[in-house]
């Protein structure tokens, strides 16, 4: 029924989408009251102001056929086009083609952490702009194109700004992105190098986000698609591809436990959505899985609420080296609490020192240099095992969502040459390195 109402209105309205632009997606639905809306550049429910998400009529009845189709698809997120709000020919359109990153079996790290089951790192630093944000932006760009936006924008904690700048350059959009003015140099340079406009705002991410919401309501923001604000329902769907890839790379099997970093909480909630879809379609066996959320102690509104047994998340003022996760007022916080509790997971946090230690532990054991967000997930995994909340005998996947080269400052003070010597063997021996 939803299909009919969407299709009949697209033919009569000039602003609506050409048929097929959103693939299997049929509507936007309110997460709070379930009210349905036509697919459009809207993000809040008119009835209750709840957040909107994409609703589908997913391919049913032939899981084997769908699995073969996916496996024959491109080595990018577009292999999952039948499960995303994108046109069937999406792989032919200009895009950075993110995704299909490595799932690394982390046996050395497992040994150090006392894990006897399988431990995997899903290493999303391998994306085109070296963070998981390329996934979400790629879907938002498709929606922006369909809605006729000409400028791509976002409020960013750093990685998103670079992902939007790069995607806009490839897809032929103007871009203008907003960040807190005091981010890491690696993130600022990455966000600026693609040639779009980059604006530093004197304030926290939450101030940047508030500013962007004002800009959307102003004539100055006309024609602007903010990937994580007015395109947020589409943007969020990109994170489902992490769930799809993990299961496919495990041989179409659900992991028992996943450890996911939390900024706004969007990624965590959509990974859960993706896993539920795979079960519903019949692509994986229906078994329980546990979802664990990871935060930095210096910005831990969700883990604080989790530990206190609260349903609401009280905003915090961030102070942490994990700047990519520094959202003090996370939009999806309450949904993260629901998911952690429903699946039997937990939400935990680690301090800056533990983050640095975990970055070095992952680098030393597996040769993966994570950004601070990866230090958060690895550090939280260690803590969860020590506290008996994560079962070391099961299959666990830990996300690394970004590249250590963008957050060098975190490890630079405690990482450097073992010695500086003259170019002579004597000098080498004197340094005790022989």
Ligand X SMILES: *Cc1c(COP(=O)(O)O)cnc(C)c1O
Note the residues at the interface with ligand X (CB under 6 A).
Answer: 131-133, 159, 261-267, 324-325, 371, 373, 401-402
Binding segment for Zn ion among 29-37, 239-247, 308-316, 412-420 (CB under 5 A)?
29-37
Nearest distance from residue 427's CB to ligand X, in Å? 41
Asked if 112 touches Zn ion (CB under 5 A), the answer is no
Nearer to ligand X, 41 or 265 (CB): 265
Residue from 36, 44, 50, 394 touching Zn ion (CB under 5 A): that is 50
Stretch that binds Zn ion, among 33-41, 223-231, 304-312, 348-356 (CB under 5 A): 33-41
Under the binding rule (CB under 5 A), the answer on residue 33 touching Zn ion is yes
Q: How far apart are CA 381 and CA 258, in angstroms?
A: 9
Closer of 245 and 332 to Zn ion (Cβ): 332
Q: Does residue 47 bind Zn ion (CB under 5 A)?
A: yes
Per-residue x/- mask for Zn ion, residues 364 to 403, rule CB under 5 A?
----------------------------------------
CB of 323 to ligand X, least distance (A): 9
Tokens for 82, please give them: 């039948």
47 binds, among ligand X, Zn ion, none (CB under 5 to 8 A by kind): Zn ion
Distance CA 67, CA 101 (A): 19
Distance, CA of 400 to CA of 230 (rounded, Å): 27
Among Zn ion, ligand X, none, partner that 50 touches (CB below 5 to 8 angstroms by kind): Zn ion
The nearest distance, CB 376 to ligand X, in angstroms, is 8
| Residue 30 in the binding site for Zn ion (CB under 5 A) | yes
33 binds, among Zn ion, ligand X, none (CB under 5 to 8 A by kind): Zn ion
Q: Which does 30 bind (CB under 5 to 8 A by kind): Zn ion, ligand X, none?
A: Zn ion
Nearest to 163 by CA among 238, 89, 247: 238
Q: Does 48 bind Zn ion (CB under 5 A)?
A: yes
Structure tokens at 303: 């883990």
Q: At closest approach, how far in Å is the CB of 324 from ligand X?
A: 4
Query: What residue ranges bind Zn ion (CB under 5 A)?
Result: 30, 32-33, 35, 45, 47-48, 50
């Amino acid at each position: 029924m939803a299909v009919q109402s969407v299709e009949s209105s697209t033919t009569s309205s000039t602003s609506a989408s050409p048929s097929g632009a959103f693939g299997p997606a049929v509507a936007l639905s309110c997460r709070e009251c379930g009210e349905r809306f036509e697919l459009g550049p809207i993000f809040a429910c008119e009835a209750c102001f709840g957040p909107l998400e994409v609703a589908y009529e997913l391919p049913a009845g032939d899981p084997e056929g769908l699995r073969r189709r996916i496996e024959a698809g491109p080595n990018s997120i577009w292999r999952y086009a039948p499960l995303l709000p994108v046109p069937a020919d999406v792989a032919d359109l200009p895009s950075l083609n993110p995704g299909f990153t490595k799932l690394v079996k982390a046996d050395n790290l497992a040994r150090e952490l006392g894990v006897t089951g399988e431990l995997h790192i899903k290493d999303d630093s391998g994306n085109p702009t070296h963070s998981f944000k390329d996934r979400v932006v790629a879907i938002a760009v498709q929606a922006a194109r369909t809605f006729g936006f000409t400028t791509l924008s976002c409020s960013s904690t750093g990685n998103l700004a670079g992902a939007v700048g790069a995607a806009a350059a490839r897809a032929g959009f103007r871009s203008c992105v907003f960040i807190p003015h005091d981010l890491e140099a690696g993130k600022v340079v990455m966000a600026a190098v693609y040639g779009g406009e980059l604006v530093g705002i004197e304030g926290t991410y939450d101030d940047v986000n508030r500013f962007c919401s004002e800009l959307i309501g102003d004539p100055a923001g006309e024609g602007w698609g903010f990937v994580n604000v007015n395109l947020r329902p589409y943007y969020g769907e990109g994170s489902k591809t992490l769930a799809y890839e993990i299961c496919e790379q495990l041989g179409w099997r659900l992991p028992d436990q996943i450890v996911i970093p939390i900024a706004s909480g969007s990624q965590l909630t959509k990974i859960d959505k993706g896993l539920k879809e795979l079960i519903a379609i019949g692509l994986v066996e229906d078994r329980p899985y546990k979802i664990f959320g990871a935060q930095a102690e210096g910005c831990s509104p969700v883990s604080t609420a989790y530990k206190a047994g609260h349903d609401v998340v009280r905003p915090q003022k961030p102070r942490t080296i994990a700047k990519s996760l520094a959202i003090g007022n996370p939009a999806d916080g309450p949904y993260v609490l629901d998911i952690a509790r429903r699946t039997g997971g937990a939400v935990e946090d680690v301090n800056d020192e533990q983050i640095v230690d975990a970055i070095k532990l992952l680098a030393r054991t597996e040769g993966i240099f994570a950004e601070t967000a990866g230090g958060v997930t690895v550090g939280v995994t260690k803590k969860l095992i020590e506290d008996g909340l994560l079962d070391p005998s099961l299959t666990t996947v830990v996300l690394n969502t970004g590249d250590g080269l963008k957050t060098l400052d975190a490890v630079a003070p405690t990482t450097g040459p073992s010695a500086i010597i003259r170019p002579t063997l004597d000098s080498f021996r004197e340094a005790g390195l022989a």
